[in-house]
Amino acid sequence: MNQRTAIFPEKRHALYDAHKYSPAVRAGDLLFVAGQVGSRDDGSPEPVYEDQVRRAFANLREVLAAAGCTFDDVIDVTSFHTDPANQFEAMMAIREKEIGEAPYPTWTAVGVNWLAGFDFEIKVIARIPSRADIGASR
């Protein structure tokens, strides 16, 4: 039976402790990353939407890196948006710079009415590369 292992980035955000969750859990060669928001180190949201999205991606990169992954290892993405009709274009412009080259992961975008004071959240599932994968492709 596979055991789950919590993964924490070097810079541990206040939200993890305040809400009692792990930023990611490793199970076998899969990494399940909790929704990452545009939180500052103290857990407060970035006030400008675009900065909040950039910070959410930066927080995601830190969690992925703590498990030895990059966005290239991501296989599935779910993003949550409080006002998708007005936010989607700005998010897509930032997303374009963040996700790398094809083949792209699957992606599901969901409109929601509440994200605990945030306007964007992104959660992913990634495959943790083996040492052989790292040497062959990076």
Q: What are phi and psi of 60, to 5 degrees?
A: -60, -45
* Tens of pLDDT, residues 3-62: 789 898 887 667 777 777 889 999 999 999 999 999 988 889 999 999 999 999 999 999
State which H helix or E strand residue 74 sits in.
strand 74-81
Q: What is the pTM of this model?
A: 0.88
Q: Which pLDDT does position 131 carry in this prediction?
A: 66
Please enumerate in sequence order all residues whose Cβ is within 8 A of that of 13, keeping only pairs 6 or more positions apart, or say none: 23, 39, 41, 43, 59
Superfamily of domain 4-128: RutC-like (3.30.1330.40)
Q: Which of 68, 59, 56, 84 is nearest to 29 (CA)?
A: 68
Task: Tell me the average pLDDT across 83-105.
Answer: 95
Cα-based distances in Å from 68 to 65, 85, 106, 114: 5, 35, 21, 32
Instruction: Show me where the domains of the chain are located.
Output: 4-128
